Structure 1
Amino acid sequence: MTNTINIFNLIQAQYSSLTPSEMTIADYFLNKNSLDNFNINFLSKKIHTSTSSITRFVKKIGLDNYKEFIYLYNASLKNQNLFSTIKSDISQNYSNLIVESEKNFRSNAIKIFSDLIFNNRFIWFWGLGFNSFAGEDFYFKFFRFGKTITVLKDHHTIFTASHQSKKDDLIIISTMSGNDEYLIKGAKTAYKKGATILVITGNEDSPLIDYATETIYCAQLEPNQKLGQISPQIPILIQLDMIYSQYYADNEIIIGKKWGESEHFLN
Structure 2
Amino acid sequence: MDQYVKSIVPIIEVKYESFTQVEKSIADFFLTNREAVDLSAKSVSEQLFVSMAALSRFAKKCGFQGYREFVYSYKESIAESRFTEVTTSNVRKVLNIYQEIINKAYSLVDEAQMMRIVEYINGAEQVWICGKGSSGLAASEMEERFMRIGVNINSLQEADRIRMCTVFQDKNKLVIGMSLSGESEEILYLLEGAYARGAKTILFTANDKEIFKEFCTEVVLIPSIKYMYGGNIVSPQLPLLAMMDILYYYYVDEDEEKKFMYNNTIQALNDRKKQPHYWIE
Q: How many residues align?
A: 184
Structure with greater Cα Rg: 1
Question: How many Å apart are 1:206 and its aligned residue?
Answer: 6.3
Q: Distance in 2 between matches of 1:176 and 1:165?
A: 23
Show the counterpart of 1:236: 240
Q: Please point out which of 103, 110, 114 is paired with 2:107.
A: 103
Show the counterpart of 2:44: none
Show the counterpart of 2:258: 255
Q: Residues 119, 260 of structure 1: CA spacing in aligned structure 2 closer, same or farther, 3 A cutoff?
A: same
Q: Residues 128, 208 of structure 1: CA spacing in aligned structure 2 closer, same or farther, 3 A cutoff?
A: farther
Unaligned regions of 5+ residues in structure 2, if any?
Answer: 1-86, 272-281
RMSD value over aligned CA atoms? 2.4
Are the counterparts in 1 of residues 125 and 172 from structure 2 also a CA contact under 8 Å? no
Question: How many Å apart are 1:85 and its aligned residue?
Answer: 2.1
Question: How many Å apart are 1:236 and its aligned residue?
Answer: 0.4
Equivalent residue runs for 1:1-267 within 5 Å: 85-205=89-209, 207-223=211-227, 226-250=230-254, 252-259=255-262, 263=267
Deviations 1:27-47 (A, max 9, x none): xxxxxxxxxxxxxxxxxxxxx
Question: How many Å apart are 1:190 and its aligned residue?
Answer: 1.2
SS, match of residue 228 in structure 1: coil
SS, match of residue 130 in structure 2: strand
Deviations 1:232-263 (A, max 9, x none): 1101000000000111115x222244357665
Question: How many Å apart are 1:264 and its aligned residue?
Answer: 8.7
TM-score (norm 1): 0.63
Show the counterpart of 2:29: none
Unaligned regions of 5+ residues in structure 1, if any?
Answer: 1-82
SS, match of residue 219 in structure 1: coil
Q: 2:133 is matched by which residue type in structure 1?
A: G
Q: Counting helix residues as a fraction of each chain, which structure ranks higher? A: 1
Q: Which runs of 4+ in 1 moved over 4 A?
A: 259-267
Q: 1:254 is matched by which residue type in structure 2?
A: E
Question: How many Å apart are 1:229 and its aligned residue?
Answer: 0.2
Aligned identity (percent) is 19
Question: How many Å apart are 1:266 and its aligned residue?
Answer: 8.3
TM-score (norm 2): 0.60
SS, match of residue 229 in structure 1: coil
